[in-house]
Structure formats: C-alpha cells, structure tokens
C-alpha cells in the first residue's frame, strides 16, 4: 500500500524552515590566525617536544620513569591554573629523575547531560559562549604554562578545536564517553603526541583496545585545514596510543588482576603491554579523598616490581573538593577550587607525587639487586583509612 502526502496535509515550507534549529552563525577565526597571534616560543617548543619524547620513551619501555599527569578536573580560572603550574613545575624538577610530570590542562568538559562545557566554550563563565575569546584564552594559558618548563596534557573533545592548540600539547586523552566514537578515533590517528584512551564508563576495556587499534592506522575523513577551510584530511596513524584504566560505573579497575587483564587484552591485539591508571573517577568512586589510597596501592606495587604501569593520573588543584558554578557570579568562587569534579589539594598532591617517585626508586633498587618478591617499604602519607568501595 502506497501512502501519498498531498500539499494540504503538509505544513507550509519555506527555505528558512528547512534549517529551523540553527541560530545565526558567527564566524570563527582560523587556526593559522590564532597561532600567528599567539605563537609558540622556542623555549615552549622545546618543552612540548621534550614532553612528547619523555612520555613516548616511557611507553616504549626505554625509560624506566613513571608518567604522572596531574592537574584540575577542568580549567576555569587562568590565574589559579598558572599558580598551580608554577608549583607543579618546581615539584616536577625535584622528581625528574623518577617521574615525567605533565600538567592536566583540560579546556573542554564533556557532560553526561548538561552543564558548563569548559573554558573554550564559555570563557566568561556566564553562558555567553564566546568561542573566539575562549580559544584565544585557552591557547594563551597553555603557552604561559609551557613557559614554566612544564609539558601539558588535555582531553580532545570537539574534533575541530585541536587545530587551534594541539601544537602546544605533549599528551592527549580521549575520554570514556567518546572512546567508541569513530570521529575521535580518526582524529587521534593524526595527532602528533601520545594519546591515552580511557575505558568506557561501564568499565569495559575492550572499547579502548579497539580504539587504539583503529587510531594506529591511517584514515581519510572531512575536517578543516589551518585556514579553517573544510578539507579532506589524511592521516598516517598514531603508534603511541595506550589504555587508561579509569574504573567503571560499578567498580574500580586498578587492582593487579585488572591491570593484568587489560595487559592481556592489549597483548592479544598485538599492542604494547603498557597502560596508565587514573586514580580518580570510577577508581576512587568519584570521592577525591580516596585518591591517595589508590595512589598508595599503585606505589606499593611499583616498588614491589609490578610491570606494565607506565603512568598515573591525578585530579588535583590548589584547594580540596569542588564548588558549584553559578553562571555570571564568579565573585562567589573560591580561589583554586574545582567547579567540576572534586580534586585533592596541593599538599596532598605533593605527598602523592613524592610517594610515586620513591616507589620508582624502590623498584629500580629491587631490579638492581634482583631480590624478587622482596618489596621495599614505601611510605605514602594517607588520611585515616576509608572503607572499601561497594
């Protein structure tokens, strides 16, 4: 049976109504224009390349240090972020023999439903969504942080924005909500830095392994060029992708058995058996007070000779916890406290990073002496014990 629609049952159509859900479009400046306006200095370039090289060497097993990616859940206050960066840079120099420290500088924030989408999307924190100002502010802050000598890492969320700042990034991330996205796998295949791909929010690691395999190959897809013109993009593949275990909605996945299972999946796919562990998110039950316990467990295992853990991620800021953001009321915000996920404070960050550095040194000592099964004592300062996650 064929049903035909006659004009009298259709709404009146106009040219405008065929594109009725897009408001007037504002023009975005080109990536080339922004890079010319805010160029990477020679010193910053060396920091970017040095960070990429250091992380890659650890992933390849050619450097026995541990990568630590530390910083706020998301950047909302450039001044507080730069204060944090200056402190972290000084700390990174103290532990450079044991750790490759990268600052977490997340400018885009994925949301499960709704909420503030990050500094690029809404730099004034008032719902005005001034993307031109957001990209300019984000790139400028990234380069200011690089000038402290500290390499930076960020999550790549929108597939177009990397053209505006990827040249400043030493380590990238694909989040748990986009791990299955073909668009992000294609994007990752053309990025020039190591990229950590998180397991899905369910906790399943298979999606991340599939994404790594896909991103390691070349792709052809639509994108933009440096002038902002829609183009056909061809990539050669990214060989430096790796799994980030971030826990799941029902349980953490940083235990020795979880790590061993993930490494087996990587090996079965013909991939290097090295991974990162995110001490926050599902691995801490979204409770920032549990992060030190996760880190302490990882440190003890590294000191005892466990292999395969190449990096650890920390959510940390100047002040502990989090606060609610009321758009347009930045005067109510506490300095140096997250407006998204809760973070540990600076003092706790210092203790955790020193504890991880000590663990790396202890692991080296164990390998030198060949005393397998003898785990040196590693002291990591902790708050009072917390009950296990349900």
Q: Is residue 11 assigned to a domain?
A: no
Q: Is residue 384 assigned to a domain?
A: no
Task: Please give the structure tokens belonging to residue 194.
Answer: 């190591």
Q: Is residue 22 assigned to a domain?
A: no
Q: Give the residues of the chain that fall short of pLDDT 50.
A: 382, 384-385, 390
Q: Is residue 23 assigned to a domain?
A: no
Report the Cα 151 to chain-centroid distance in Å. Answer: 13
Domain CATH code at residue 240: 3.20.20.70
- The count of other CB atoms within 10 Å of the CB of residue 185 is 25
Q: Is 334 exposed, middle or buried (0-12, 13-18, 19+ CB in 10 A)?
A: middle
Count of residues making up the chain: 390
Q: Is residue 381 assigned to a domain?
A: no
Q: Is residue 386 assigned to a domain?
A: no
What residues have CB less than 8 Å from 90, skipping those under 6 apart?
A: none
Q: Is residue 170 assigned to a domain?
A: yes
Give residue 216's domain range: 28-325+332-369
- DSSP characters for 128-173? ---HHHHHHHHHHHHHHHHTTT--EEEE--SSSTHHHHGGG-SEEE
What pLDDT, on the 0 to 100 scale, is given for residue 19?
A: 76
For residues 84 and 346, the answer to whether their CB atoms sit within 8 Å is yes
pTM, full prediction: 0.91
Q: Cα–Cα distances in Å, from 366 out to 94, 301, 381? A: 22, 12, 22
Q: Is residue 18 assigned to a domain?
A: no
What pLDDT, on the 0 to 100 scale, is given for residue 11?
A: 58
pLDDT digits (tens, 9 = 90+) for 138-165: 999 999 999 999 999 999 999 999 999 9
Q: 3-state class of 221 per DSSP?
A: strand
| Number of folded domains that form the chain | 1
């Amino acid at each position: 049976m064929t049903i035909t629609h006659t004009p009298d049952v259709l709404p009146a159509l106009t040219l405008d109504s065929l594109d009725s859900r897009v408001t007037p479009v504002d023009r975005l400046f080109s990536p080339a224009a922004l890079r010319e306006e805010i160029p990477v200095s020679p010193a910053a370039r060396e920091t970017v390349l040095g960070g990429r090289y250091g992380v890659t060497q650890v992933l390849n097993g050619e450097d026995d240090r541990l990568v630590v990616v530390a910083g706020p859940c998301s950047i909302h206050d450039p001044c507080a972020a730069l204060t944090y960066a200056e402190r972290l840079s000084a700390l990174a120099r103290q532990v450079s023999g044991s750790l490759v420290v990268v600052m977490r500088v997340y400018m885009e924030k994925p949301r499960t439903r709704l909420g503030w989408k990050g500094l690029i999307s809404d730099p004034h924190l008032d719902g005005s969504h001034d993307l031109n100002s957001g990209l300019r502010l984000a790139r400028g802050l990234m380069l200011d942080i690089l000038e402290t000598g500290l390499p930076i890492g960020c999550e790549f969320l929108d597939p177009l924005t990397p053209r505006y700042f990827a040249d400043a990034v030493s380590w990238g991330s694909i989040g748990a909500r986009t791990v299955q996205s073909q668009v992000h796998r294609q994007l990752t295949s053309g990025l020039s830095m190591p990229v950590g791909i998180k397991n899905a929010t369910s906790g399943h690691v298979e999606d991340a392994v599939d994404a790594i395999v896909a991103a390691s190959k070349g792709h052809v897809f639509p994108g933009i060029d440096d002038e902002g013109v829609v183009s056909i993009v061809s990539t050669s593949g990214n060989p430096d992708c790796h799994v980030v275990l971030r826990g799941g909605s029902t349980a953490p996945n940083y235990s020795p058995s979880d790590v061993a299972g993930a490494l087996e999946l990587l090996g079965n796919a013909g991939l290097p058996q090295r991974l990162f562990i995110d001490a926050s998110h599902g691995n801490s039950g979204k409770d920032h007070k549990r992060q030190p316990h996760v880190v302490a467990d990882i440190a003890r295992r590294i000191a005892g000779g466990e292999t395969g853990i190449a990096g650890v991620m920390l959510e940390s800021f100047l002040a502990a916890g989090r606060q609610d953001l009321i758009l347009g009321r930045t005067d109510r915000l506490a300095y140096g406290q997250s407006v998204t996920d809760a973070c540990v404070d600076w003092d706790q960050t210092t203790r955790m990073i020193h504890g991880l550095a000590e663990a790396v040194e202890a692991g080296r000592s164990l390998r030198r002496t060949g005393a397998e099964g003898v785990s040196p004592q590693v002291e990591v300062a902790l708050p009072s014990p917390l009950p296990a996650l349900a």
